[in-house]
């Protein structure tokens, strides 16, 4: 079952169970996916985006909501921050399990060895290898400095 099928099933379930907040978030997810498909389409072709693309979209949505929640908390709007956090919980149901710090370190070491990276100039190769294997499972903003340390 693809991630899109899981999202559709969850959407139907939320409608049946009258879960308004979950339903709204799932509709936002579907809208983001459709926007991406339209952007990729270009012509008249029907283009389905892959699970990796959907994972990237979901990861971006989580990151945006984390930033919004932080901003709301700093502004004293705790009810809005709480709504953002509840949306994050719904979105994260469709993301794969995040890797632990030890697993991330092992993945970075493996990617460095696999690409034969030896200097900071090879950072792009290492990041590309990590993205191809671990999209949606690693926060690449945190991995960048770790890769940089390994290659320095």
Which tens digits make up the pLDDT trace of 4-15?
Answer: 899 999 999 999
Full set of structural domains in the chain with CATH: 3-92 (1.10.1510.10), 101-151 (1.10.10.410)
The DSSP 8-state label assigned to residue 121 in this structure reads G
Which tens digits make up the pLDDT trace of 75-84?
Answer: 999 999 999 9
- Residue 119's pLDDT band (boundaries 50, 70, 90)? confident
Stated as kind and residue range, the H or E segment containing 73 is helix 51-74
pTM (2 d.p.): 0.73
User: Of 45, 49, 21, nearest to 35 (Cα)?
Assistant: 49
Which tens digits make up the pLDDT trace of 50-76?
Answer: 888 888 899 889 989 999 999 999 999
Query: 5: how many CB neighbours lie within 10 A of its CB?
Result: 9
Cα 35 off chain centre by: 16
Kindly tell me the sign of the dihedral angle through the C-alpha atoms of 135, 137, 140, 143: negative
For residue 91, is pLDDT > 80?
A: yes
Radius of gyration of the chain (CA): 18
Q: What is the largest CA-CA distance in the chain?
A: 55
């Amino acid at each position: 079952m693809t991630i899109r099928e899981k999202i559709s099933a969850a959407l139907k379930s939320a409608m049946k169970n009258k879960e308004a907040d979950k339903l709204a978030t799932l509709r936002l997810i579907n809208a983001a996916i459709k926007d991406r498909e339209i952007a990729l389409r270009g012509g008249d072709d029907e283009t389905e985006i892959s699970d990796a693309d959907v994972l990237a979209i979901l990861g971006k949505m989580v990151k945006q909501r984390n930033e919004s929640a932080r901003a709301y908390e700093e502004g004293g709007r705790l009810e809005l921050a709480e709504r953002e956090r509840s949306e994050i919980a719904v979105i994260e149901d469709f993301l794969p399990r995040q890797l632990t710090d030890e697993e991330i370190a092992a993945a970075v070491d493996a990617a460095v060895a696999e690409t034969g990276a030896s200097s900071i100039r090879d950072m792009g190769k290492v990041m590309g290898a990590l993205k191809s294997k671990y999209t949606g499972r690693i926060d690449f903003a945190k991995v960048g400095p770790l890769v940089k340390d390994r290659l320095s």
